Every structure is written in structure tokens, then in C-alpha cells.
Amino acid sequence: MNSLWVIVPAYNERERIGATLAALAAQTDTDFTLLVVDNASTDGTAEIAAAFRGPFTTEVLTEPEKGVGSAVDTGFRHAISHGAVHLARTDADCLPRPGWVAAARRALAAGDGLACGRVIARRDEHGPAGRAAFQVLVTLAAAFGRWRPGHRGSEFRAPYRMHAGNNMAITAELYQSCGGMPRRPSPTDRTFLNRVRRTTPAIGHHRDMVVENSTRRLRAYGLAGTARWYLDRGSGPRTADPR
């Protein structure tokens, strides 16, 4: 039984999940169990995941309660109940770079309770201008998070630094002790991070944990709408799901 599990929540990702699975199969470290948590997709996402054959054991679990938080929490708790000691997460529209799993494993083995990585834009969804705009928005959101009064209370044991839920690794012990992922629709990342920050100072940020992030929100929302989202101002009149 592997002690490291990789959790991938997915909802109607038929067009993208194949590339995500291929990116995981191309990891330099494939000594893990992959768990795809299908959030009641209607487009065959679960079937694609179930048919996948990689250099690791793959499981598919269905979570009918809608919301990425519910899918992630169910997946993490399933993995822990089946022996996982370390957990990593990416999303079904993301492309982890080949050294991602190895970097996550090193970070947790070195003592991080939560390891956060670097998010960059996928190269197959936007041109250079779109990718540059995405990086600017991520930088602004990170700065806004550090400044925000609600993230600077005395109850926190570590300073605020934005982390992306699609590029993280955590110990099973810390996941359980902090209360886990909030079971709700996106956004969940800030709430989860603050739960961890109230529990431990052992949060590491690692530039060698790299995931290429989908920029489809930029196409669906436009620059101003995407900025609103990343600054934690919600999706306005738009659906929280940019598809």
C-alpha cells in the first residue's frame, strides 16, 4: 500500500482530464496511488479516468455532493482511511510538471505539514499576453491576501502566503487536525489555508513544485472579472464554474 496518494477532483472534464492523467504518468516519481474523485459528472469524465492505465494504481470515486470542497474532502479522507500518510492534490484541468510529485514528497519528508507550489499558466490555452495577464493577477491576489486584515490575526501561527489548491501536498495528520477542506463550492483555498495556519507554522513554499494552471476563467470572465475572482470578490453575475 502506497503511503502517498494524489487526489484529483473532477467535474465534467472530459476534454482535459486525459492530459492531466498523462502528466501524472510522466512524473519522475510514480510511487503513489492516484484517486480521481468524480463530482457527479455527466460527460463521461469518470469513465475516462477508470479506463486510464498508468504506472501506478488508479482508483475512481464518485462524490454526489456538488462542490470542489466536498470532492476534495471525500478524496482525502478516503485515502487516509486506506493508509495514506502523505497527500497531494492537483485538478483535472491542470498539468503538473514532471518533478511535481518528487518535490512534494521531499517537502513533506523534510518536515513540512503543508507544502505549496508554484502555479503558472498552461501554454495551450492562451498566447503570451494571456499568460502574462494570468501571472499578474496571481501576483496581485497574493499581495492582496497578505494585506487583508482577516489574514493577519494573532490566532495564525504562520504568515499568509497565497496557495493554490491545485498545487499542494499535506500530511494526513495535519489534514485531520486542521479540520480538512470546507465542504462547499469554490472558492475554498483561503479558508483551508487559514485552517492550516491556525494549526501549525510548518507551511513550506517550493518553487520546484510546479503546476500549469488552466486560464479558461480569464477567457470566460475577462480580465476584470478574473481579477475580481482572484481577489476573493466572487464571480459577480457569472457562474462560479467558468465552463
- pLDDT confidence of residue 132: 84
Q: How far is residue 87's CA from residue 145's CA, in Å, rounded to a whole number? A: 25
- pLDDT confidence of residue 1: 66
> pTM of the entire structure?
0.89
Taking only the tens place, the pLDDT of each residue in 11-30 is 999 999 999 999 999 999 99
- pLDDT confidence of residue 193: 95
- pLDDT confidence of residue 130: 78
3.40.1440.60, 3.90.550.10, 3.30.70.270, 3.40.640.10: CATH of 4-120+163-212: 3.90.550.10
What tens-digit pLDDT sequence spans the chain (243 residues)? 689 999 999 999 999 999 999 999 999 999 999 999 999 999 999 999 999 999 999 999 999 999 999 999 999 999 999 999 999 999 999 999 999 999 999 999 999 999 999 989 888 887 888 788 777 777 877 776 777 887 888 999 999 988 889 999 999 999 999 999 999 887 788 899 999 999 999 999 999 999 998 877 666 666 566 555 555 555 555 555 655
| Cβ atoms 61, 46 nearer than 8 A | no
Nearest to 25 by CA among 129, 101, 108: 101
Taking only the tens place, the pLDDT of each residue in 124-160 is 887 888 788 777 777 877 776 777 887 888 999 999 9
| Cβ atoms 188, 70 nearer than 8 A | no
Buried b (16+ CB within 10 A) or exposed e, 114-141: bbbbbbbbbeebbeeebbebbeebbeeb
Q: How far is residue 83's CA from residue 184's CA, in Å, rounded to a whole number? A: 25
| Residue 81, C-beta contacts closer than 8 angstroms, at least 6 positions apart | none
- pLDDT confidence of residue 237: 55
- pLDDT confidence of residue 215: 79
Q: How far is residue 95's CA from residue 167's CA, in Å, rounded to a whole number? A: 10
- Domain borders along the chain are 4-120+163-212
- pLDDT confidence of residue 222: 62
- pLDDT confidence of residue 143: 77
- pLDDT confidence of residue 183: 93
DSSP secondary structure code for residue 106 in this structure: H
Q: How far is residue 83's CA from residue 40's CA, in Å, rounded to a whole number? A: 25
Q: In this structure, which amino acid lies at residue 72? A: V
